[in-house]
Structure formats: structure tokens, C-alpha cells
Amino acid sequence: MRSAAIILNSPAALPEIEEKELICADGGYLRIVGVEKKTVVIGDFDSLGAVPKGVSTLTCPTDKDYTDGEKAIRYAAEKGYEKAVLYGADGGRMDMQLSNLFLLKIACDLSLQAEINTPTERVFYTEKDFSFRCPIGKRVSVLPLGSPAKFLSSAGLHYPLEGLTLTCADTIGLSNKTIEKEFRFSLQSGGVLVFVEK
């Protein structure tokens, strides 16, 4: 599977970046200067200050109706990547953190598999069946994004999700725990963000 790391401009610490190809959203490039990997930098270069030399760039207008992170997601889909792993999506301004979570929904709409990877957790978005392998006892939070999410079934979680309908005003999906080495659930409708503790 062809995958790329998308590096966002955040003050938060980054976990190890395993992907061999990097797409940096503007100032995200400062997080990986000196890393010898195939790199493209996308943005209006307001936070970077200047267009970097010696790397591929895609310049966006200063006045635009999307973030540099969204442009990076769309670029990855256009270039045929099958998966994008976002780094630097946490930390900093809360409104930016929320919009970075929305990037997972945008990726889903573009048929691009995506996740957010932080030092402490991984975050996914799904509108269909979902399964994930991790050690027993890990924290899992499942929160609807947008419309209500209706669950048909679940397994491997301490608190079952089956039969639940969660709205964006519900907090019941927070802090579940894995009781098997794989947890899974099936959605009847809606979409959810899945936060998995590392």
C-alpha cells in the first residue's frame, strides 16, 4: 500500500515517522528539516516564512477557503496514495485541532485511508465496519462526527456499543476499554472518530 506522512504545523511532539514519503503542510516542514526522505511542501508559506530550497513545493494562495492540511490531504489523494498518516494534528490551537480531526472525514470522502498518529494515541474515522488490534486494557473512545451514529454490533470492548445511537451531544462513547486483543464494531448509519490509546 502506497502511503505518505502528512506533517502538520503543530508544537506537539511527533512520534517516529515510518513512512518514506512526506507531504509537509507549510510550517510542518520545520519539524522534519534534515530528514532524508522524499518530501513535498504545500502551503502559502505564511508560517514557514519562505519557500524552502532544494525540495518540491506547491504554493497555495494566501487568501483561500481551505487549510494547508486539507490541501495536503487532497494532494495525497490526487497523487494516488492509498493511505495518509497525519502527524502534528494535536497541540496548539483548539480550533485547529478540531479542524485537523475533520481532515479524516475529508480523506474518507476521497477514498483515502487515513489516521492521525500522536505520541499517545491513534485516531481514525469510519462510516462502516471497523476493527483494530491492540493490547487488552487500552482506552478506546468512539465519538460521532456530524449526524448521529447508530451501532449494530460490537465486540472486544468492556462497554458494548450495539444498539446505541450517539449524537455529538453524548459523552457516553468516552473511555471504553479493550477486553480482547481485537475490538470491532459495525455501524448502521453515521460516522465516528475512533481514538485508540497506544
Per-residue pLDDT band at 7 (split at 50, 70, 90): very high
Per DSSP bridges, beta strands 176-177 and 38-43 are unpaired
Angle, CA of 10, 14 and 15, to the nearest 5°: 160
Question: What was the pLDDT predicted at 66?
Answer: 85
Q: Is the pLDDT of residue 34 over 80?
A: no
Smallest CA-to-CA distance from 60 within 44, 73, 46 is with 44
Supply the pTM of this predicted model.
0.93
Question: Residue 65 corresponds to which cell in the numbers above?
Answer: 477557503
Angle, CA of 58, 119 and 32, to the nearest 5°: 30
User: Phi and psi of 84, rounded to 5°?
Assistant: -130, 130
Per-residue pLDDT of 91-139, as tens digits, reads: 889 999 999 999 999 999 999 999 999 999 999 999 999 999 999 999 9
- Strands (DSSP E) along 32-158, which ranges? 38-43, 56-59, 83-87, 113-117, 121-126, 130-133, 139-144, 149-155
What DSSP string runs through 129-165? -EEEE--TT-EEEEEE-SS-EEEEEEESBSS--TT-E
Euclidean distance between CA atoms 156 and 135, whole angstroms: 11
The average pLDDT across 68-92 equals: 95
User: Coil, helix or strand for 123?
Assistant: strand
- Look at the chain and count its residues: 198
Listing from the earlier edge strand, what are the strands of the sheet with 130-133? 130-133, 182-189, 149-155, 165-166
Question: What was the pLDDT predicted at 165?
Answer: 97
